[in-house]
Amino acid sequence: MLAHTLPRLIDRLPITRGEIKEQADLSAITWFRTGGSAEILYRPADIEDLGLFLKTLDSDIELTVLGLGSNVLIRDSGVSGVVIHLGKAFGPIEFDGNDVIAGAGALDVAVSRACRERNLSGLEFLNGIPGTVGGALRMNAGAYGREISDVLVSAQALDLSGQTHEISALDFGFSYRHTDIDPSWIFVSARFRATPANREDIDRKMAEMGINRRSSQPVQTRTGGSTFKNPPGRKAWELIDQAGCRGLTVGDAKVSEQHCNFLINLGNASASDLETLGEEVRRRVEEDSGFVLEWEIRRIGVPDEETTS
Ligand SMILES: Cc1cc2nc3c(=O)[nH]c(=O)nc-3n(C[C@H](O)[C@H](O)[C@H](O)COP(=O)(O)OP(=O)(O)OC[C@H]3O[C@@H](n4cnc5c(N)ncnc54)[C@H](O)[C@@H]3O)c2cc1C
């Protein structure tokens, strides 16, 4: 069949009540503010809409899910297939005694603050993590000595056929910034357990974490959070610093002077600049200390020939 007679992807999609956009610029929704477009961006109307979409979608079409894009680097060539973006429809936050039940599109910050309003403690650490509940589940996000695995009771996810799964926290296989849950499953909600506490203590904890974070991380910049996982027993930033990479640049991509495990986009960095810089950091760290750093940031899309690791 000649290329120009192939059906467009948009014409092969199931009917949905959600929002569909062709060639959607993903730099607009990721923290790095760079990278290419999604062939199709789909914002489901609700869980039922997403379930039906998955059930009836041709199985050869690639799927990628995004939360707030705070831990991803979208490559310049963009993402083929359908990118699913869970938005406000997946944002409700409800309470059941000391449990908080949040949609996967709810902001971590909103969950943490809703708990504070109810004098519930344990989720203060989420106040500084700039992502969604779905992204936090996938990444086992954590800060200041606590992570998702410490507070999760269970979560709900859809598989590629649109079937719903109730997953107990015990079945997540949590480890540092990792879960064993099938990478193709899409989280749609989570139940967390909090503990009653007095409001002043919660406020104090949140304030301390906020001050600490603002003084140690470039939170007001275009960044993707921690670039590399900490190798066992070591801090990635120390190894990067020791290898002389603090402040290193490639084009407009820079290793943050404030926290050298953060890469920042000074304005016009391409995804390729950021990835090339990350790879150069990995190379220098290995040469200097023998540690091979593992990317924590999820790089999505077809790799550039020159930057593959
Ligand atoms: C300034 C800054 C500070 C940060 N500080 C921290 C920190 O202290 N601790 C920490 O752990 N992280 C931190 N991060 C990283 C990031 O915020 C977390 O990893 C966050 O949990 C990612 O959530 P997200 O919604 O943005 O996910 P995205 O970045 O959109 O996606 C991350 C991964 O999760 C997957 N995903 C997203 N939603 C779903 C879903 N519904 N179902 C299945 N998979 C999904 C994506 O496919 C991707 O693989 C920081 C980032 C920034 C920019």
- Is the pLDDT at 306 greater than 70? The verdict is no
Q: Quick one: pLDDT band at residue 266, thresholds 50, 70, 90?
A: very high
Tell me what pLDDT residue 4 has.
Answer: 61
Tell me what pLDDT residue 90 has.
Answer: 97
Please report whether residue 15 resides in a domain.
Answer: yes
Same structural domain for residues 40 and 79? yes
Question: If you take atom 39 of ligand 1, which residue's CA is the nearest one?
Answer: 134
Please report whether residue 213 resides in a domain.
Answer: no
Q: How many CA atoms lie within 13 A of 156 on its CB side?
A: 16
Of 73, 88, 103, the one marking the end of a domain is 88
Instruction: List, for residues 15-30, the tens digit of each pLDDT value.
Output: 999 999 999 999 999 9
Same structural domain for residues 71 and 141? no
Collapse the DSSP code of 67 into the 3-class scheme (helix H, G, I; strand E, B; otherwise coil) and give the result. Answer: coil
Rounded to whole angstroms, how far apart are CA atoms 91 and 80? Answer: 26
Q: Quick one: pLDDT band at residue 234, thresholds 50, 70, 90?
A: very high
Question: Would you give the DSSP letter of residue 178?
Answer: B
Please report whether residue 18 resides in a domain.
Answer: yes
Question: If you take atom 33 of ligand 1, which residue's CA is the nearest one?
Answer: 135
Range of the domain at 14: 3-88
Average pLDDT score over the chain? 95
Same structural domain for residues 100 and 193? yes
Tell me what pLDDT residue 2 has.
Answer: 53
Distance 296 CA to ligand 1 centre (A): 10
Q: What is the mean pLDDT of residues 172-186?
A: 96
Beta pairing, strands 142-143 & 222-226: unpaired
Active site residue 226: yes
Same structural domain for residues 39 and 109? no
Instruction: List, for residues 58-82, the tens digit of each pLDDT value.
Output: 999 999 999 999 999 999 999 999 9
Q: Which residues lie with the beta carbon below 6 Å from any ligand 1 atom? A: 31, 65-72, 86, 104, 128-132, 134-136, 138-139, 141-143, 186-187, 217, 219, 223-225, 298
Looking up tokens 């429809």 gives 89
Same structural domain for residues 256 and 290? yes
Distance 4 CA to ligand 1 centre (A): 38
**Closest to 181 in 3D by CA, of 157, 164, 149:** 157
Distance 30 CA to ligand 1 centre (A): 10
Tokens of residue 158, six digits: 């859809």
Q: Quote the Cα angle for 126-131-137, to 5°.
A: 75
Catalytic residue among 112, 154, 189, 226: 226
- Is the pLDDT at 91 greater than 80? The verdict is yes
Question: If you take atom 47 of ligand 1, which residue's CA is the nearest one?
Answer: 65
Of 174, 201, 228, the one marking the end of a domain is 201
Active site residue 22: no
Q: What is the mean pLDDT of residues 17-45?
A: 97
Please report whether residue 309 resides in a domain.
Answer: no
Residue from 26, 62, 70, 172 whose mutation best tests the ligand 1 pocket (most atoms within 8 A of CB): 70
Whether the CB-CB separation of 217 and 262 falls below 8 Å is answered with yes
Rounded to whole angstroms, how far apart are CA atoms 189 and 195? Answer: 20
Q: Strands, DSSP E only, in 142-198?
A: 142-143, 146-147, 152-158, 164-168, 186-193, 195-196
Please report whether residue 305 resides in a domain.
Answer: no
Model's pTM, two decimal places? 0.94
Distances (CA, A) of 105 to 110, 130, 171, 249: 11, 12, 22, 34
**Closest to 14 in 3D by CA, of 52, 46, 59, 44:** 52
Whether the CB-CB separation of 302 and 75 falls below 8 Å is answered with yes
Q: Quick one: pLDDT band at residue 219, thresholds 50, 70, 90?
A: confident
**Closest to 132 in 3D by CA, of 84, 169, 180, 198:** 84
Rounded to whole angstroms, how far apart are CA atoms 148 and 126? Answer: 9
Q: How many CA atoms lie within 13 A of 254 on its CB side?
A: 15
Tell me what pLDDT residue 3 has.
Answer: 53
Catalytic residue among 177, 191, 282, 299: 177
Residue from 26, 54, 75, 139 whose mutation best tests the ligand 1 pocket (most atoms within 8 A of CB): 139
Q: What is the mean pLDDT of residues 183-210?
A: 96
Instruction: List, for residues 109-164, the tens digit of each pLDDT value.
Output: 999 999 999 999 999 999 999 999 999 999 999 999 999 999 999 999 999 999 99
Residue from 30, 46, 68, 71 whose mutation best tests the ligand 1 pocket (most atoms within 8 A of CB): 71
Same structural domain for residues 77 and 99? no
CATH number, position 222: 3.90.78.10
**Closest to 39 in 3D by CA, of 49, 24, 27, 20:** 24
Whether the CB-CB separation of 71 and 139 falls below 8 Å is answered with yes
Of 68, 88, 108, the one marking the end of a domain is 88
Rounded to whole angstroms, how far apart are CA atoms 226 and 237? Answer: 9
pLDDT-above-70 percentage for the chain: 97
